A and B are shown apart, each in its own frame.
Chain A
Amino acid sequence: MSRIDVRKTYKLFIGGQFPRSESGHSYEVLDSRGRFVANAALASRKDARDAVVAARKAFPGWSGRTAYNRGQVVYRIAEVMEDRRPQFVEALRRGEGRTSAAAGKVLDGAIDRLVWYAGWADKLAQVVGNANPVAGPFFNLSTPEPTGVVAVLAPRESSLLGLVSVVAPVIVSGNTVVVTASPDRPLPAVTFAEVLATSDVPAGVVNLLTGSLDRTAATLASHMDVNAIDLTGLAADAEQATALEVEAAANLKRVRRAPAAEPDWSEDPGLDRMTDVLETKTVWHPIGV
């Protein structure tokens, strides 16, 4: 008797749980050659709303941790990813049509990027914060603080390295994130969510939605409890990007605009993905009182 396949159900990741979509909908995920791979959950507006609620709930605890500890947690994600190497390589091979060697290189890049951002956790304040010279007897100190709940539309093409490159800079400074995975290549993202669930990341810090952006992006852009939105996933889709920017204006969200084309993720990322989701707090303190 031949053995029956045990197929995996790819689910959402919201508040540390792996729910199916509240709508019950799913969609077919195809590999790079158009063959069926798996069914993934098709997130609905309500899933997006639930994810924002979970992210908001996690924000005080995550942003309240010491920067040093957040760095340790992000580093731990890299450790656990390393442990799942074969699974990621297989997912990249099928999803992005790479050879095993090339997929391994991409995975290295993703893991290294996490380590790189982990190192920034306790250095960011020193680099972008400042003791300002002022014309009076005051200490005047500017420190960066996380902006809150950040919605991120992850890139379409680079389903793992791109995802890590947009999520890590947001959470490392204490923000919590609702990220929509690449609609066509969601499987590495779901595996990444499983890594998050088994590393030390608190529930709700990263929430992952899979499925068409038509359902979730507008809800995230118009949500009054989302403080910033990153439109990277809409590279070369200027029309939809503009529509979301208009929606995002209602509560003056910070918007990271969609690039003209998907960036080369293997390049040095720079600091701006981190600084885009920070608020600067400046404190005046009298001297000698």
Chain B
Amino acid sequence: MTSTATPTTAAGNDWADVTASESSLRRFLHGLPGVDQVGAEQRAAGLGTRSIKTSAKAFAIDLAISMVDLTTLEGQDTRGKVRALAAKAVRPDPSDPTCPSVAALCVYPDMVATAKAALGTSGVRVASVATAFPSGRAAMDVKLADTREAVAAGADEIDMVIDRGAFLAGHYLQVFEEIAAVRAACARPDGQSAHLKVIMETGELQTYDNVRRVSWLAMMAGAHFIKTSTGKVQPAATLPVTLVMLEAVRDYREQTGRRVGVKPAGGIRSSKDAIKYLVMVNEVAGADWLVPEWFRFGASTLLNDLLMQRTRLATGRYSGPDYFTLD
């Protein structure tokens, strides 16, 4: 795929002139090269055909487990369920101590304190959705309060949703300022800051060009991660969309030197799918993105399939859902 060379208006890593006004931001985003839809889909499909077997598969499965953001975002979530999931996050396969922990536990803001207490010093991070997830339809001060509360409760990572309505209506600066404001709200009193993941909800963005634009918008506004979807809208994460985002983070680093992570979320259910994503990360963004700090899977059912495949590799027997927790 071609590199998304940025128009000359952007000087180095200083985006001040780009983001100075609605019109300069629009000029920049619309100046990004268009995505070749057929090419992107073909490239994604082609990368999906790689055969990953035996020891490479074992490595990929363990890597994928360590990249999972184990997610529970249901209206029916209880503290008990979050605690049970926290236990699973730390030890996904209790019968096998060599099985890695997942990267993070992703919950609603009111469950952050419970998750934090349950995870303790295990090293598994707590991610919280915020800013009126999943629709993002709330007043700005409500969104910021939502974020601050989650950070105060101990969230290490904040998954915010952008205002898709504003973006699709062309109010780019509003979206930009909102992300920047939430990023500021992620600051902790000790001077550090919770990591900010920006959910683009690609299923509502209509075109790959828009995906590329929101990716750049979010990165310029200071996102640490760009994330495909809430998981509440179909289609959620797809390979071509993730491909476009991986190209964006790759090009952004070339331009500015700053690295941004990618998190596909929703709809990734099988180990096979997960491995396809890992192949694509390696081929598009590069091998140094293949770590939990820079690539995550937002998933709930994926973990059980990864564990089943892991057991299969270890024992030679196909395993079944009876042997893993229901969640």
Contact = CB atoms under 8 A, between A and B. Distances in A.
Interface of A: 49, 52, 56, 219, 222-226, 250
B321 A219 contact: no
A219 B318 CA distance: 8
B316 interface: yes
Contacts of A224: 317-320, 322-323
Nearest to B316: A222
A68 to B, nearest CB: 29
5 shortest A-B CB distances, which residue pairs? A225-B320, A223-B318, A224-B320, A222-B317, A224-B319
Given A223-B317, A224-B319, A225-B321, 13 more contacts: A52-B320, A56-B320, A219-B318, A222-B318, A223-B318, A223-B320, A224-B317, A224-B318, A224-B320, A225-B318, A225-B320, A226-B320, A250-B317
B315 to A, nearest CB: 9
Contacts of A225: 318-322
Interface string B300-327: 0000000000000000111111110000
Q: B319, B320, B321, B323: which has the most chain A beta carbons within 10 Å?
A: B320
Contacts of A52: 318, 320
Contacts of B318: 49, 52, 219, 222-225
A16 to B, nearest CB: 19
10 contacts: A222-B318, A223-B317, A223-B318, A223-B320, A224-B319, A224-B320, A225-B320, A225-B321, A226-B320, A250-B317
Interface of B: 316-323
Contacts, number: 25
A49 B317 CA distance: 10
B97 to A, nearest CB: 21
Contacts of A56: 320-321
A250 B323 CA distance: 13
A219 B321 CA distance: 17
A222 B317 CA distance: 6
Contacts of A250: 317
A225 B320 CA distance: 4
B316 to A, nearest CB: 7
Contacts of B320: 52, 56, 223-226
Kindly name the residue among A222, A224, A225 whose own CB sees the greatest number of chain B CB atoms within 10 A: A224
Contacts of B321: 56, 225
A222 B321 CA distance: 15
A88 B322 CA distance: 39
A56 B317 CA distance: 16
A219 B312 CA distance: 11
Nearest to A45: B318
A226 B321 CA distance: 11
A250 B311 CA distance: 14
A219 B320 CA distance: 13
B34 to A, nearest CB: 37
A222 B320 CA distance: 11
Contacts of B319: 224-225
Contacts of A226: 320
B221 to A, nearest CB: 43
A49 B320 CA distance: 10
A189 B236 CA distance: 40
A191 B55 CA distance: 41
B275 to A, nearest CB: 15
Nearest to B317: A222
B119 to A, nearest CB: 30
B42 to A, nearest CB: 22
A223 B318 CA distance: 5
A278 to B, nearest CB: 18
A223 B308 CA distance: 11
Nearest to B270: A53
Contacts of B322: 224-225
Contacts of B317: 222-224, 250
A53 to B, nearest CB: 9
B212 to A, nearest CB: 36
A148 to B, nearest CB: 9
A86 to B, nearest CB: 40
A56 B322 CA distance: 11
A224 B322 CA distance: 8
B51 to A, nearest CB: 13
A56 B319 CA distance: 12
A250 B322 CA distance: 14
A137 B319 CA distance: 43
A12 B154 CA distance: 53
Nearest to A149: B320
